[in-house]
Structure formats: structure tokens, C-alpha cells
Amino acid sequence: MESLAKQKIIEDLLPQKFGKAGKIWVVILLAFCTLGFVAYCMQLSKGLVVTAMRDYVSWGIYISNFVFFVAISLVGSLITAVLRLSQAKWSTPLTRIAEIIAVSAITFASIIIVVDMGRPDRFYNLFIHARLQSPIVWDVIVITTYFFVSILLLYFPLLPDMAILMKFKDKTGMAWLNKMYAFLGSFWKNTKAQIHISEKAVNILSITIIPVAFAIHTVTSWLFATTYRPGWDSTNFGAYFISGAFLVGAGAVVVAMYVFRKAYHLEKYIQNEHFDKMGKVLVMLALLYLYFNVNEFLVPAFKMKKSEEEHLMGLFTGEFAPVFWFAISTAMIIPILILITKRGRKPLPAFIAGLLVVIGSWFKRYLIVTPTLLHPFLPMHDVPEAYKHYFPTWQEWAIALGSLAGALLIVTLFARIFPIIPIQETITEIEEHEMSITKI
Amino acid sequence: MKTNDTSRREFISATVLAGLAVAGCSSGKNPFQPDTATLETVKPSGEMVKLLSVNGEVIEVDKAFLKPVPELPQVSNQLARQGIAGKKFVMVIDLSRCKSLKKCQSACNHMHSIHPGQNWIKVYPQQEADHTAPYWQPTTCMHCDEPPCVKVCPVDATFKRQDGIVLIDSDRCIGCRFCMAACPYSTRVFNWEELNLPKEIAEKPYSCETSVPQKKGTVGKCDFCPDMARKGELPHCVSACPNGVFMFGDLNEDAVTNGSETFRFSELVRDKAGYRLMEDLGTKPSVYYLPPVNRNFPFENKEEKEENKKS
């Protein structure tokens, strides 16, 4: 690392124009977003009848997608805050990746919850008629707070980088980009006082974001746990959700690390060591989540109360068994088996493990929402036959995939506009490193 | 001709008076406002009708000038949210009388213009254990005293009134469906699409007390028909049931009735071992059940048997 001149670092890390693959990727994402938007327009005009949700399964993949987004956004607090406060220096190149994933995920969490509303035109009622005893209002409050804290945690470390970007105007290309950098960061003069304030602010935010992050996902779990239903009526839910959230978020960061490293040739910055460390973090988180899963399923299964029995048997051996065991093995067991060996923590296998975690976790969220709703206390009765099953319609899939594509699009465009690896922090760290070596 | 003219003048002044009176107490458009355009064009038929004017005089009006008074919203939203003072409505459902005729259900569906296929009242085939006899259990909204649905509503669209009734304000509901997840009795339904209502029902002024017309993207459920209670009448399910299964009344008066028989509520529940559903959840329902004694089961007709098997 020492051999890298400052100039070289800046050149390596400046945002680059999309190559051919990048352009195709953006077009694909845009296509999915458009399809999702079209489906949503249909839903707006016809109502939620275009979904497969009915009176019993009144929450479907929109809500599982919401939980998924909230979960994945927790990684911002894990990488930026927890690792920063524990002085794990190795995480510096990953902070911005984690933070932009957090911001885009929490943005789409808010969007998807509006999509799920029967009357989005009355969204303002949440503010003018808000009642504080409803967990939904708690969710609105903590998610808004988390969004702004995350934006600030993304923005402050960007300031010195924007000064660098403005210096290298000709390399970054388009004029409107330079105007935007100037608008966002021209007040940054890199003075000692400014650096001091910024560092202090980031420290305060890092501490603030931890309880807020715990709050967003705990409250999200309470949307379920505050009801009486078998499968949701659990005191384990907050911790179960948080551990799962850190797992899926860390998985997403490993995936993003691999993709950015490949696309922007960042091998010098996102090194094999990073995959090794993140791999270990993933194993720990997967074991933790597995522990909470054992608690969540084994304890009620031991008793097999009548109300829980149908629900649990549906998951273990019944109609949801394939998805259940798929989710458990792809989100936890297989990644643990891959990442527990040193060879498994090389970039490619770690990437595959991360991808498995993310996919498995999406289905896990589906299993948290739907099967419970199909096992109400009083048997499903006096409704049309279609009300007794749930399989999402193409509109629901289109909207869900569109929102996932939208979140990826934000991350992709962000990496086009801003350096995805903090330039100034990387330089400072290398300088500090050199200083310490010369001192010795 | 002369008398005719006077009566016309009187009629107009009476309607204007009534119109003013209504305009004084309720805002919004005034249904009593005489439509001057039609008044000018209507031709007297010559057939006279005797009416009682607002100042107590008997007047004669040409039949051609009569037109039906449009339905007014009974009470303001504020009053509908408060409920009827001094009342605490309860229902007693006698399971030993229910033969699953579902007249309650069809009357309810009809009177509230519920989406076809959906039901606010459901009649469940129930069986406690494998070897016990099955029975029918109609369920309405339980109008809990600790309503889980009200607890979770983020916008106060569903609320508990002083008379014990839990209602929904479809003009405020945002359609988040948290109340549906929270209700352990699965009593709530959602209007997934625009209802195909006849014009005269669709144009009725909405009130939380009538729950009509139901609105797309909002939640609906049994409302204990508070509009009927205000008129001193029984809910539609109670009057529709030929077996007198449903008894409705006021806990403060300690009386419930199914229309033909009236009981002292406390005695009925005591003597016939009344109970409530899912007492262990602590929701404190306002609906009491009398046990299904004298079960004349297994279910008689084939359709019923099949339905029982399925559930």
C-alpha cells in the first residue's frame, strides 16, 4: 500500500463512466423499475384487487419486501458505526458501500410500504391523525430518523472527497456533475477546524445510529409480535429480526464488494483480506441468526400448542416446507459451511455465500409474513375459495422486483457519481501508516 | 285554481323554512333546498294530498309537487365517534338455536351492500374435539372492550365508542390492514376493489354508523347497526333470524331481546352458562355465547357435511 502515490489513489478511485456492461446493467434495472411502475399504476386504478392478497392473507410480499429492505439497511450501522467504534480500521473501504446500501434500502422500504397501502392518497393522515400507541407510528418515526442519520453519515465523509472531485474536474466529465459537487460541498475548505467538526459529527452520528438501527428493526418486528397470531406472538421477535438483519446486510455488502471490485478494478483497495474478515463476520452472524431460529421454532414445536401446531407443521413438513428448508439452508447453513474454511473466504466463494444469504433471507421474510396469516384462530370459512391461498400475482412480483431493482439502481448511480471507496480517508490512513513506520 | 295557488305558495314557504332549519344545523349541501327549476316546469296533476306542515297546520298539496326526501346523514362524524350516551350494547348468541340458515348473513350483506363473496357475519361449523358433536357458531364483530384492532390503528380510523361499539371511519382509513392482522376473530374484511353498487346506494352520504357505502381500499366489518339502535330498532341480523338466535340489548338496562322474547341479560348468561370467545386473550368481547346444548347433529344435509369436512 505504501508504494501507492497519492495521485495514483485518486486516479484509481475517481468515479468512472459506465462501460458497456455498466450500461446494460443500468438498462436492465430501468426496465424492471418501469415494469414495476406500470404494475403499480394498474394497482392504483383498480385497487389492491390486482394482488393475490385477500381477507385472510392481508399482507403479502409487499410487507415481506418491506421487512427485507429494513433488514438490509441495518448494515449501514453495523459497518459504519459498530466497526468504526470498535476501531476496526480494515473496514474503512467498506463504509461507503455499506452506507449507500443502507440509504437506498431504507428509501425503498418507505416506498414499498406506501405501495401496500389501500389508500395511499390518505398518507397524510399518518401525520394529522397520528396515534402514538400504534406500532406503525413508531415505525414512521424511527425510519424517518434512521433515514436522516444515514444520509448524514453518508454525506459528511463525502465532503473532503467532493473537494478532490472538484479539483479533478476534467476527469469526472459532465458539467452538471461538477455543479452538483460544488453545490453540495464547495464550503469544504479542508481546514483543521472543519476536519475536527466533521470527525466529531461522524462520531456522534455513529453512536446515535446504533440505538436507532436497533429501533427500526425491533419496531418492524413488533408490527407482527404485537398481535396474537401463532407464529408472530413471540417475545423472541426483536432479537430474531435484528440478528437476521445484520446477517442479510453483511451478505449484501460482500456481494457489493465483489461486484465493485470487479467492475472498477479495485483489487488494491478491496483486498482478499477484506473478504476474509467479512467472511468471518458473516459466519458469526449466521450462527447467531441460527441460534435465534432454533429458539423461534424449537421451543413452540416442543409444546405443539394446538394453535401453533398447524402453522409449525406447515413450515416443517407441510406446504411451506420446501421454502422453509430452502431459506434455512441458503441463508445460514450453506454459507456457514462455505465461509468456515479459509479457502471459502476467498473473494469468489465469499461472493457466492453472500448471494445465498441475500436470496435465502428474502424468502425467510416471506415465511415470516404469509404462513401465519393462513392459520387464523378461527378456521378460514365463508369466503371464496381463492381467499384461502396466496400466491403473488405478476403485478406483485413486478412491483417487488421493481423496488429491488430501484434500490440497486440507486447504489449503481451513486457509484457513478461519487467515489465508492472514500478517497480522502484512504489517503489519510496510508499517510498515518507511513508516519508510524518512519517513527519506528 | 285559487286554492291551488295558495297551496303552492305555502308549500314553497314550508320547504324553504325546512331548508333553512336544516341548513342551520348541518353544513354541506342541503337536500331540502327546493329545486326551483323543476318547480317551474312541474304541471299540477289536480290530485291533492293532505300534509302536516312544519307549523302544525294541515295543508293540501298537489301530488305532482311531492318528491321523495333524500336520505340525510343521521349524525355528524363527531357524534358517531362518541356513541349513544348511557348505553352499553351487548349481544347474546344462543348456539343451541342456530341451524345455519344464514338469514343473518344475507340480511347483513344486503343491508350493508357488502362485496359479493365477503361476509361480516360468518357461520362456522365448529367441533371441540374429534368425538364431540359439531355445532354452528355465527360470529359478528365481538366489539371488544379491549379491542386489539383499535390499539394498532395508526390514524384513529377504527375507534371504541362510549356505548361499547367499535366502528370504522372509512373516510379516514388508510388501508394499512394492521387491524386485520391484529383481530384474533378474523372479523374484518377489506374492500380490495371498487364496489359495483347501484347508484342510489353509492350516492348515499357515508356515515360510520351505517357503514354504507363501503369504500375501495378501506377495511369493513360488522358495526352492530348503531343507526338502527338510534331509531330504537334491532340490528338486521337479529330481526332476520327466524330461530331467534341473536339477542341484542343494553347491559345498563340488563335486557336483551331477539324481537319476540326479552330476557334479563344477567340471568340469561348466568342460567345458561354464557361465555365469550377466546377469553384468555383478554379482549373482553361484548358478544356472549350460550352453549350449543341439544345438538341435533351430525349436520343434516350433504352440503353442510362437506363444508364441515373441509374446515
DSSP A66-117: HHHHHHHHTHHIIIIIIHHHTT-GGGHHHHHHHHHHHHHHHHHHHHHHHHH-
Q: Establish if A1 belongs to a structural domain.
A: no
- Give how far Cα A274 sits from Cα of A154, A204, A253, A431, Å: 21, 26, 11, 20
* pLDDT band of A429, cuts 50, 70, 90: confident
Residue B26's pLDDT is 42
CATH number, domain containing residue A152:
1.20.1630.10
* pLDDT band of B17, cuts 50, 70, 90: very low
Nearest to A46 among B148, B156, B193 (CB): B193
Question: Mean pLDDT, to the nearest integer, of B23-36?
Answer: 48
Residue A210's pLDDT is 92
Closest to A353 in 3D by CA, of A289, A296, A275, A409: A275
Question: Mean pLDDT, to the nearest integer, of B205-215?
Answer: 92
pLDDT greater than 80 at residue B30:
no
Residue B43's pLDDT is 76
Taking CB atoms and an 8 Å limit, are B139 and A126 in contact across chains? Answer: no
Cell of B249: 340489548
Q: Establish if A43 belongs to a structural domain.
A: yes
* pLDDT band of B311, cuts 50, 70, 90: very low
Taking CB atoms and an 8 Å limit, are B175 and A48 in contact across chains? Answer: yes
Residue B20's pLDDT is 43
Residue B82's pLDDT is 94
More confident residue, A339 or B62: A339
Closest to B159 in 3D by CA, of B249, B82, B248, B75: B82
Q: What is the gyration radius of the CA atoms in chain A, in angstroms?
A: 23
Q: Establish if A434 belongs to a structural domain.
A: no
Closest to B293 in 3D by CA, of B265, B274, B277, B266: B274
Closest to B153 in 3D by CA, of A223, A112, A113, A235: A223
Nearest-by-CA chain B residue for A60: B177
Taking CB atoms and an 8 Å limit, are A227 and B154 in contact across chains? Answer: no
Q: Indicate the SS3 state at residue B92.
A: strand
Report d(CA A81, CA A83) in Å as an integer: 6
Residue B132's pLDDT is 85
Question: Mean pLDDT, to the nearest integer, of A307-330?
Answer: 95
Pairing status of strand B219-220 against strand B246-250: unpaired
Q: Which domain holds residue A128?
A: 6-427
Question: Mean pLDDT, to the nearest integer, of B164-184?
Answer: 96
| ipTM exceeding the 0.95 mark | no
Q: Establish if A440 belongs to a structural domain.
A: no
Q: Establish if A321 belongs to a structural domain.
A: yes
Please state the pTM of the whole predicted model. 0.88
Pairing status of strand B89-94 against strand B287-290: parallel
pLDDT in tens, B114-152: 999 999 999 999 988 888 889 999 999 999 999 999 999
Give contacts of B186 with chain A, Cβ < 8 Å: 55-56, 376-378, 380
Question: How far away is chain A from the Cα of B29, in angstroms, using its nearest Cα?
Answer: 24
Q: Which of A166-170, A216-220, A253-257, A417-421 has the lowest mean pLDDT?
A: A166-170
Through-space distance between the first and last CA atoms of chain B, rounded to whole angstroms: 72
Report d(CA A146, CA A372) in Å as an integer: 29
More confident residue, B293 or B295: B293
A9 touches chain B (CB under 8 A): no
Question: Mean pLDDT, to the nearest integer, of B96-111?
Answer: 94
For residue A8, the tally of other CB atoms under 10 A from its CB is 11
Q: Indicate the SS3 state at residue B185.
A: coil
Q: Residue A324 phi/psi, 5° resolution? A: -60, -50
Q: Establish if A298 belongs to a structural domain.
A: yes
- Amino acid in position B31: P
Question: Mean pLDDT, to the nearest integer, of B28-38?
Answer: 53
pLDDT greater than 50 at residue B2:
no
Helix A237-264, helix A61-73: angle, nearest 10: 70
Taking CB atoms and an 8 Å limit, are A136 and B177 in contact across chains? Answer: no
Q: Which of A360-364, B58-62, B261-265, B267-271 has the lowest mean pLDDT?
A: B58-62
Please report which residue ranges of A173-236 form alpha helices under DSSP H: 175-185, 192-225
Residue A102's pLDDT is 94
Question: Mean pLDDT, to the nearest integer, of B240-247?
Answer: 96
Residue B309's pLDDT is 52
A46 touches chain B (CB under 8 A): yes
pLDDT greater than 80 at residue B19:
no
Report d(CA A74, CA A210) in Å as an integer: 9
Report d(CA A407, CA A107) in Å as an integer: 8
pLDDT greater than 80 at residue B38:
no
For residue A23, the tally of other CB atoms under 10 A from its CB is 11
* pLDDT band of B36, cuts 50, 70, 90: low
pLDDT greater than 80 at residue B261:
yes
- Amino acid in position A409: L
For residue B129, the tally of other CB atoms under 10 A from its CB is 5
**Mean per-residue pLDDT of chain B:** 85
Nearest to B148 among A48, A228, A387 (CB): A228
Q: Indicate the SS3 state at residue B252.
A: coil
If one counts the domains in chain A, the total is 1
pLDDT greater than 90 at residue A247:
yes
Q: Establish if A432 belongs to a structural domain.
A: no
Helix A237-264, helix A394-417: angle, nearest 10: 50
Q: Which of A151-165, A237-251, A348-362 has the lowest mean pLDDT?
A: A151-165
pLDDT greater than 80 at residue B212:
yes
Report d(CA A228, CA A230) in Å as an integer: 7
Report d(CA A342, CA A336) in Å as an integer: 12
pLDDT in tens, A1-27: 444 578 888 888 888 888 899 999 999
Whether the Cβ atoms of residue B277 and residue B142 lie closer than 8 Å to each other: yes
Report d(CA A240, CA A365) in Å as an integer: 12
Question: How far away is chain A from the Cα of B300, in angstroms, using its nearest Cα?
Answer: 19
**Mean per-residue pLDDT of chain A:** 92
Whether the Cβ atoms of residue A342 and residue A238 lie closer than 8 Å to each other: no
Nearest to A118 among B117, B139, B190 (CB): B190
Which three-class secondary structure string do you get for B206-223? Answer: CECCCCECCCCCCEECCC
Q: Establish if A439 belongs to a structural domain.
A: no
Question: Mean pLDDT, to the nearest integer, of B83-111?
Answer: 95
Cell of A236: 423472541
A 184-203: CB under 8 A from B: none
For residue B211, is it left (φ>0), alpha (ψ between -120 and 50) or beta? left
Domains and CATH numbers, chain B: 2-65 (no CATH), 77-290 (3.30.70.20)
pLDDT above 90 as % of chain B: 62
Cell of A63: 410487507
Q: For chain A, how long is the longest CA-to-CA vector?
A: 81
Nearest to B155 among A118, A130, A377 (CB): A130
- Give how far Cα B288 sits from Cα of A164, A295, B91, B275, Å: 74, 37, 6, 5
Of A129, A141, A378, A395, which to mutate for an interface test with B (greatest number of B Cβ within 10 Å)?
A378
- Amino acid in position A298: L
Residue B23's pLDDT is 42
Question: Mean pLDDT, to the nearest integer, of A83-106?
Answer: 89
* pLDDT band of B67, cuts 50, 70, 90: confident
A349 touches chain B (CB under 8 A): no
- Amino acid in position A107: T
